[in-house]
């Protein structure tokens, strides 16, 4: 938690809005969860399943992992809003939150090709001119 607070303070000090820092924190948390091979595999299964979702048992069978391991990974993905679960009778379905994923991708691409001044990215502590050729 300390590193998130440090990141937040650094970004605010550099002039980024509170909204932008919150978006960065959310995106970082979501991407961190997708940074694990098992969760990335789950994500890919959920993408293939589409908006109707997929039964938990099918995910377990495709990835060939123990139920307790799968439950742990599903919980982590759910905690950052990447997926939800719904019950139909005795079957528990996992559904990718496509809106959340689209928002994440939109955030990542939102400033594509806008250009940036190097001086606004990081303080130049040694007074050299980077990229000044």
In angstroms, the CA 22 to CA 117 distance is 22
Q: Record the tokens describing residue 34, joined without a space.
A: 């997708």
Domain-by-domain residue ranges, the chain?
2-110
What is the model's pTM?
A: 0.74
Q: CB–CB of 69/32 below 8 Å?
A: no
Reported as a single tens digit per residue, the pLDDT across 6-60 is 655 655 555 667 778 888 999 999 999 999 999 999 999 999 999 999 999 999 9
Contacts of 95 (CB under 8 A, 6+ apart): 46, 49, 51, 52, 53, 83, 84, 85, 86
User: Considering only the top CATH level, what class is 2-110?
Assistant: mainly alpha
Q: What confidence score (pLDDT) does residue 126 get?
A: 53
Q: What confidence score (pLDDT) does residue 100 get?
A: 97
Nearest to 16 by CA among 125, 107, 130, 127: 107
Q: Record the tokens describing residue 108, joined without a space.
A: 């990542």
User: H-helix or E-strand containing 84?
Assistant: strand 83-88
Helix (H, G, I), strand (E, B) or coil at 128: coil
Residue 117's CB is within 10 A of a number of other CB atoms, namely: 7
Q: What confidence score (pLDDT) does residue 95 get?
A: 98
Q: What confidence score (pLDDT) does residue 51 get?
A: 96
């Amino acid at each position: 938690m300390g590193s998130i607070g440090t990141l937040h303070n650094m970004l605010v000090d550099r002039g980024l809005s509170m909204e932008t820092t919150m978006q960065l924190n959310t995106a970082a948390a979501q991407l961190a969860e997708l940074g694990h091979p098992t969760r990335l595999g789950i994500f890919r299964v959920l993408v293939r399943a589409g908006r109707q979702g997929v039964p938990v048992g099918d995910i377990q069978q495709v990835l060939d992992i123990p139920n307790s391991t799968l439950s742990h990974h599903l919980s982590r993905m759910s905690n950052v809003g990447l997926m939800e679960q719904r019950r139909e009778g005795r079957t528990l379905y996992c559904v990718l939150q496509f809106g959340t994923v689209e928002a994440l991708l939109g955030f990542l691409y939102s400033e594509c090709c806008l250009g940036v001044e190097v001086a606004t990215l990081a303080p130049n502590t040694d007074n050299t001119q980077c990229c000044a050729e």
